[in-house]
């Protein structure tokens, strides 16, 4: 991949800091917690999955739908739906850049603006901007990385998945 002209980066990586946002544990009912924790995989493939969930929860279909809508509006769930295995549909990679602190926001803004980017995080490390690029195929992904490199002026480390070692059953909460 073409390496963009590198700007000199003379900066000290930021020290390990606590998260900027203080942890706020939301107040949830037992039913809401069960909805969040027990249905991260295995959503029923029946004509009425929410009614099936309601039965397991000793609740009603309307209540399950209402609570899922509420949890979505509050931002506690992103969706009720599928997680696709990486690369089964399209191609993706994890990429990282080392950006001087005073330019991080500008670089991050450009990376975020790319529709092919679905995750974009700061991490406390010399390599401080981490993002996931997803597109139709490998060539399209690498083209996006080259464009990001050229636009931002920093080398992009391309770290594609080689082998997965875990089974995704969701995220255990309140354990």
Query: Cβ distance 77 to 71 under 8 Å?
Result: yes
In the complex, the smallest distance separating the C-beta of residue 75 from another protein, rounded to whole angstroms, is: 5
Q: In the range 105-134, which residues lie near another protein by CB under 8 A? A: 108-109, 111-112, 115, 117-125, 127-128, 130-132, 134
Encoded tokens for 110: 């450009």
Nearer to another protein, 101 or 150 (CB): 101
Tell me how far apart the alpha carbons of residues 66 and 73 are, in angstroms, rounded to a whole number.
11
| Parallel/antiparallel/unpaired status of strands 91-97 and 129-135 | antiparallel
- DSSP category for residue 75: T
Size of the site for another protein (CB under 8 A): 88
* Of 1-9, 37-45, 143-151: span binding another protein (CB under 8 A): 37-45
- Residues sharing a CB contact under 8 Å with residue 62, sequence separation 6 or more, in sequence order: none
In the complex, the smallest distance separating the C-beta of residue 71 from another protein, rounded to whole angstroms, is: 8
Say whether residue 15 binds another protein (CB under 8 A). Answer: no
**Minimal CA–CA distance to 107: which of 92, 127, 135?**
127
Rg value, the chain, Cα: 20
* Of 2-10, 13-21, 141-149: span binding another protein (CB under 8 A): 13-21
Say whether residue 1 binds another protein (CB under 8 A). Answer: no
Q: In the range 53-92, which residues lie near another protein by CB under 8 A? A: 61, 65, 68-69, 72, 74-85, 88-90, 92
Say whether residue 18 binds another protein (CB under 8 A). Answer: yes
């Amino acid at each position: 991949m073409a390496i963009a002209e590198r700007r000199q980066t003379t900066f000290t990586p930021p020290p390990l800091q606590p998260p900027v946002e203080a942890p706020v544990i939301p107040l949830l009912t037992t039913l809401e917690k069960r909805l969040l924790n027990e249905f991260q995989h295995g959503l029923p493939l029946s004509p009425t999955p929410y009614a099936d969930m309601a039965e397991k929860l000793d609740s009603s279909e309307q209540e399950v739908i209402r609570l899922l809508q509420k949890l979505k509006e509050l931002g506690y769930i992103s969706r009720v739906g599928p997680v696709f295995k990486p690369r089964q549909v399209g191609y993706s990679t994890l990429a990282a850049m080392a950006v001087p602190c005073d330019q991080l926001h500008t670089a991050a803004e450009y990376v975020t603006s790319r529709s092919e980017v679905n995750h974009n995080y700061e991490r406390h490390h010399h390599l401080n901007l981490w993002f996931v690029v997803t597109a139709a195929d490998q060539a399209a992904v690498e083209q996006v990385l080259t464009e990001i490199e050229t636009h931002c002026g920093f080398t992009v480390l391309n770290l594609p998945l080689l082998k997965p070692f875990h089974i995704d059953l969701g995220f255990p909460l309140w354990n």
